[in-house]
Structure 1
Amino acid sequence: MASSTVTSSQPDRPPRPNLAFRRLRGPRSPAEFAALVRRAAREIGERVSCDARYIGRVEAGEIRCPNYAYERVFLHMFPGRALTDLGFVPRSSVRGRAARTAVAPFRGPAPEEIPEETPGESPGTAGPYDLWGPRQNDPLNHEESDVLRRAFMTGGGATVAAATLAPLGLTPSAAAADRLPPRAGLPEAMALEEAVRRIRLLDDRHGADGLYRRAAAPLRAAYALLDAGATRQTTADRLHAGAGELAISVGWLAHDSGRFDDARSHYAEALATARMTGDAGLEAHAFCNTAFLARDAGRPREAVRAAQAAQRAARPLGSARLLSLLALREAGGWAGLADRTGCERALARAQALFERGRADADPEWMSFYGEAELAGLEAQCWSALGDWRRASRQARRAAQAQDPHFTRNIALYTAELADDLAREGRPDEAAQAGLRVLALLDQVQSSRIQQMLAGTARVLLPHRRASGVADFLDRHAAYKGSKPDRGGGPV
């Protein structure tokens, strides 16, 4: 990854926690507060990709002054207050670009190539809203965007993934390889963490199929940074954790797009990184995803073992919500083994742990896990056991409870509902749910969802005369016919 030729004027010192901002969050979890930030942004026409990790960085003091978009959102949320009232330092006190060598401006993708959730300027506008902060001639700057801007100048792309990942300088090429720093520092660690956020946000909105191959390039760059070594042990720890989380994210993209062997390899890579560094949180995450993959790949006994290994790693971490999710992974394995008793016990444990509520120890990657995901995973268990009535009830609950930000999950839960209703013998309701999924597939690219919908269509074929079924079958056939050949990948 390319970095500035001039050393940052900010020393690699421990940040001072932002206690004022933490107080403003109150009893809400970081993920819940991040959702409020995104909602406030929409109210004033801004677009920010805020998640629990960003809130954590603000509260840890890593972001001393937010960029201009976040500033407008925060001041909208807390009218009458200045940035300093929110615990940030005055913008004038943050060092600007004068201490750095000027870099040629980035020639990014055309406006029509920038996805809806890509942070930055709205297409066609000339206002100051820009994730990367002030324009080149603006003397003001801020700590967060400066790290990303230096990498941003090095490349671009013409797809959703490239437009979002290339700005981080984590898309290596032969030329870029020559620009990797001899030893990685804090800017590289922060850009790596930002790549993980971007991938997760894009997957939440658009699904995995269009992202996987592009996202593999940042992963290669991340491990090249690890081979280069780091300037400090704390930075090395962040790089290893970031590379492991990135491997899991890329593995999930492979998993969701049907490339199970690739996913298994990426998860194993993350697990090896966790074991090397003694990172129990990363180990639990890697085993969690391995269990999910094993279930989907038809290896339910492996799913049970991986979920149990994840729980052993996670117990010292103090997160009941993490243990709840891992119990659901175990339940999925028992359901695949047709062990109803084992499944019900794991489901009961998952529910009891979930009801303990959120905690500061909850991993940031779990921002997706709430009432909707709990219901959705339970629905999958009942479906595997052939209890279609319970499955459809939980799937409906999941689809209704999901945060609108998670478009992919809404499509997933609704596809699960359509299939459960079809198998329960309610073809008209199944067709209506299937049509809702088809309406979302312009935004979401997920082979898992497409395969589920294809299964539902096969079940509904004998019921073409039922209300709405013929319409669903015709639209599904037209959708399948419009899909391009993906060159060997599942559709």
Structure 2
Amino acid sequence: MTSSALTSSQSPRPPRPNLAFRRLRGQRSPGEFAAAVRRAAREIGELVSCDARYIGRVEAGEIRCPNYAYERVFLHMFPGRTLTDLGFSPRSSVRGRGARGTDEAPPPHTTSPTYATGETEETHETYDTQDPYDTHENHEESDVQRRAFMTGGTATVAAASLGPFGVTFGAPAADRRVHRVGTSEAGALEEAVRRIRLLDDRHGADGLYRRAAAPLRTAYELLDAGTTRQTTADRLYAGAGELAISVGWLAHDSGRFEDARSHYAEALATARMSGDPALEAHAFCNTAFLARDAGRPREAVRAAQAAQRAARPLGSPRLLSLLSLREAGGWAGLADRPGCEQALARAQTLFERGPSETDPEWMNFYGEAELEGLEAQCWSTLGDWTRAARHARRAAHLQDPHFTRNIALYTAELADDLARGGRPDEAALAGLRVLDLLGEVQSSRIQTMLAGTARVLLPHRRASGVSAFLERHASLPRIA
């Protein structure tokens, strides 16, 4: 799982710190500087989702040359300077074939997701391994999204156990006699949701997403078929909405953000049609999480707040605690430390009220470990690597062994925070623990995090344990 920006014939070169860019940041924190970058982008009509992590990667030399959107923003922020003045390498030195001449101006701003002239995928060196959720000329993430999901292995075998639902309702609509559905179909739908969540907890999303899409289509066919009882109809709507959220999460964790957004919107529409506040809160909860990951922090805040409004009548402090954490993630993405801290404090207070009979079934993953893990992500986004590592370590230690994917996720977060916080030996040990879990877990999110950690650790490859981690990571098969 080496970076897609490297060809198999190349050995990666350790990055050289970008000291010029670091000097330009001055006394501002990485989060404050990232906010300034986003403001400058808005001034010229660009859309970049810059955060403290991205600034850290630039300063560490991981990003040798920014993509065109960031180039336009940086040149706007520092008029009269060139990319070389900002500490970046000439574009021609980091591009593969098809690169433009170095004297050629960046293409004008465009909202089209297609590649600009000369933008090819045959890059031979790290060319803007940027904030992976930037929507402009985003090579690394778009490459992840185009990869076929893994076949074979534990997750695919596990996915086959979705079969009972597929056998019951899997035939195309045209091949089935139309009939009114009843409680047995509603029960099968609810069981399919539970099974998908269980398999995701244990194995991650990549091997499950495509297999889970078929039951989702069938679920909405059941809604179209209709039922004679309102209670059964309510169960079908709730089941279909929860299944849409589950499939959306599989897409989300696999890096297919547009698919996830569509599934979450479908669940939200189902909730609104059926007047189901619990389903609405869940849909907004996941929408907030997706918006944060996709670099839309303000949308993350608004979606989390909408989820809290829907959830208040439900009487579940733990649900409100989780939704406050979703809001905190949005504030962190906006580099609003006070807003983030307030939301984190509210999440902790609500969590301490304990579980309740009104807690939704889907929240079985939310315990102290998840609370610590989500807080770690907030501090990481704000560039406070020491605090982030402390919470990530707690999360990995506290997690129930049943949730294998979450253990791998928290440990990958820990490895990355330690690496960026200047503790390469500890980062390598954590990274090795993640590698040990990859035989059971297939998650593009975790794999991408681990690849980023490997890049950060390259300059420390002679440190104790680091070389062992880098060698094992380099030996992993590429994602097809």
TM-score range, shorter chain: 0.5 to 0.7
- Counterpart amino acid of 1:483? R
Aligned partner (choices 225, 230, 242) of residue 227 of structure 2: 230
Change (3 A) 1:165 1:455: same
**2:444, 2:168 → 1: CA distance?**
26
Match of 1:390 in 2: 387
Aligned partner (choices 189, 192, 212) of residue 192 of structure 1: 189
- What is the deviation of 1:484? 4.6
Higher relative contact order by CA 8 Å / sep ≥ 6: 1 or 2? 2
- What is the deviation of 1:160? 2.8
- What is the deviation of 1:250? 0.1
Match of 2:478 in 1: 483
User: Which aligned pairs between 1:31-42 and structure 2 lie closer than 5 A?
Assistant: none
Query: Aligned pair 1:370/2:375, yes or no?
Result: no
Query: Aligned pair 1:286/2:283, yes or no?
Result: yes
Match of 1:254 in 2: 251
- What is the deviation of 1:190? 0.2
Change (3 A) 1:367 1:378: same
**1:358, 1:304 → 2: CA distance?**
25
Query: Aligned pair 1:347/2:347, yes or no?
Result: no
Asked if the contact 1:170/1:218 (under 8 Å) is kept, the reply is no
- Counterpart amino acid of 2:163? L
C-alpha deviations, 1:106-154, integer Å up to 9, x for none?
xxxxxxx9969xxxxxxxxxxxxxxxxxxxxxxxxxxxxxxxxxxxxxx
User: Which aligned pairs between 1:129-144 and structure 2 lie closer than 5 A?
Assistant: none
Asked if the contact 2:412/2:450 (under 8 Å) is kept, the reply is yes
- Counterpart amino acid of 1:172? G
Match of 2:431 in 1: 434
Asked if the contact 2:165/2:192 (under 8 Å) is kept, the reply is no
Asked if the contact 2:166/2:214 (under 8 Å) is kept, the reply is no
C-alpha deviations, 1:347-371, integer Å up to 9, x for none?
0000000000000000000000000
Match of 2:457 in 1: 460
Match of 2:311 in 1: 314
Match of 2:294 in 1: 297
- What is the deviation of 1:167? 4.7
- Counterpart amino acid of 2:478? K
Match of 2:358 in 1: 361
**2:164, 2:207 → 1: CA distance?**
15
- What is the deviation of 1:483? 3.3
- What is the deviation of 1:231? 2.5
- What is the deviation of 1:181? 4.9
**1:208, 1:180 → 2: CA distance?**
33
**1:438, 1:114 → 2: CA distance?**
15
Asked if the contact 1:327/1:349 (under 8 Å) is kept, the reply is yes
Match of 1:206 in 2: 203
**1:299, 1:326 → 2: CA distance?**
17
**1:429, 1:182 → 2: CA distance?**
60
Asked if the contact 1:165/1:198 (under 8 Å) is kept, the reply is no
User: Which aligned pairs between 1:33-52 and structure 2 lie closer than 5 A?
Assistant: none
Asked if the contact 1:114/1:163 (under 8 Å) is kept, the reply is no
Change (3 A) 1:324 1:484: closer
- In the alignment, structure 2 segments of 5+ residues that lack a partner are 1-151
Match of 1:410 in 2: 407
- What is the deviation of 1:159? 4.2
**1:362, 1:170 → 2: CA distance?**
30
Query: Aligned pair 1:337/2:334, yes or no?
Result: yes
Match of 2:57 in 1: none
Asked if the contact 2:285/2:303 (under 8 Å) is kept, the reply is yes
Change (3 A) 1:256 1:114: closer
- What is the deviation of 1:161? 1.6
Change (3 A) 1:459 1:198: same
C-alpha deviations, 1:439-487, integer Å up to 9, x for none?
00010000000000011001101010111001101110111xx2351xx
User: Which aligned pairs between 1:100-119 and structure 2 lie closer than 5 A?
Assistant: none
**2:342, 2:168 → 1: CA distance?**
44
**1:340, 1:250 → 2: CA distance?**
33
Query: Aligned pair 1:420/2:420, yes or no?
Result: no
Asked if the contact 1:310/1:326 (under 8 Å) is kept, the reply is yes
Asked if the contact 1:254/1:263 (under 8 Å) is kept, the reply is yes
Asked if the contact 2:237/2:274 (under 8 Å) is kept, the reply is yes
- In the alignment, structure 1 segments of 5+ residues that lack a partner are 1-112, 117-157, 486-491
Change (3 A) 1:464 1:413: same
**1:203, 1:363 → 2: CA distance?**
18
Change (3 A) 1:422 1:361: same
SS across alignment from 1:173: coil
Change (3 A) 1:355 1:180: farther
C-alpha deviations, 1:226-268, integer Å up to 9, x for none?
0000121100000000000000000000000000000000000
Match of 2:66 in 1: none
Change (3 A) 1:170 1:115: farther
Asked if the contact 2:165/2:188 (under 8 Å) is kept, the reply is no
Match of 2:162 in 1: 164
Task: Compute the TM-score of the two structures, normalised by the length of structure 2.
Answer: 0.67
